[in-house]
Amino acid sequence: EVQLVESGGGLAKPGGSLRLSCAASGFTFSSYSMNWVRQAPGKGLEWVSSISSTGTYIYYADSMKGRFTISRDNAKKSLYLQMNSLTVDDTAVYYCARDGGRFVPAAMSFDSWGQGTLVTVPS
Amino acid sequence: QSVLTQPPSASGTPGQRVTISCSGSSSNIGSNTVNWFQQLPGTAPKLLIYSNNQRPSGVPDRFSGSKSGTSASLTISGLQSEDEADYYCATWDDSLSGYVFGTGTKVTVL
């Protein structure tokens, strides 16, 4: 069974940093691209970033470029999101989601999701 | 703001058919396949439809998807109380070089 478990969320100061992690199990992690998706309280889903299976190809939403860094460690079966220069608008639940193949985009994108981790940046 | 537009809400009585639209452009829906997600209250989203009209294993066949030009739609045939949830479309946008999600539609079972 595919399992994705996010961690690292919490309270962060405006202008501060946080590093989110996503531990994967139940599938060959190194064979899949991975994504981060966020959801602000009471709002819709927003794609954050994607990384290909080997880490060669990386994509960011425009509002995250230059502030967020996605990375992965295939040996540890883990996905990461380094978030810097946080603002109140970054307050959201951050989900780790598997893509459908080695490269982005995949047909069966976002086929498995973690339970999410809440990041709060107070005003 | 999302580049994929969905109606904010839809509703129906048990057994009815409900259709949710997702409107995009040539750089996203017009060029790539569309996925649909269901998000039950307080839970993570779940993949419902991929590649416009394919159902992952375990998804009931009352859920179906279609795409035409720069629009896509999700149909729930035979609405059930457990279908009350938020629904999102998503696809890749060639101009943005990134995924885009729809604005989301809340389905209410009357």
At B19-74, the pLDDT tens digits run: 999 999 999 999 999 999 999 999 999 999 999 999 999 999 999 999 999 999 99
3-state secondary structure of A50: strand
At A42-94, the pLDDT tens digits run: 999 999 999 999 999 999 999 999 999 999 999 999 999 999 999 999 999 99
Contact A45 B101 (CB under 8 A): yes
B residues 9..68 contacting A (CB < 8 A): 32-33, 35, 37, 39, 44-47, 50-51, 56
CA angle B52, A103, A40 (to 5 degrees): 70
The number of CA neighbours under 13 Å toward the Cβ of A43 is 17
Q: Find which of B55, B86, B97, B99 to mutate to test the A interface (most A CBs within 10 Å of its CB).
A: B99
Amino acid at A4: L
User: Which of A61, A110, A115 is the closest to B90 by Cβ?
Assistant: A110
3-state secondary structure of A90: helix
Contact B50 A107 (CB under 8 A): yes
Cα B61 from Cα A8, distance rounded (Å)? 38
Q: 3-state DSSP: chain A helix, strand, coil percent, rounded to 5?
A: 5, 45, 45
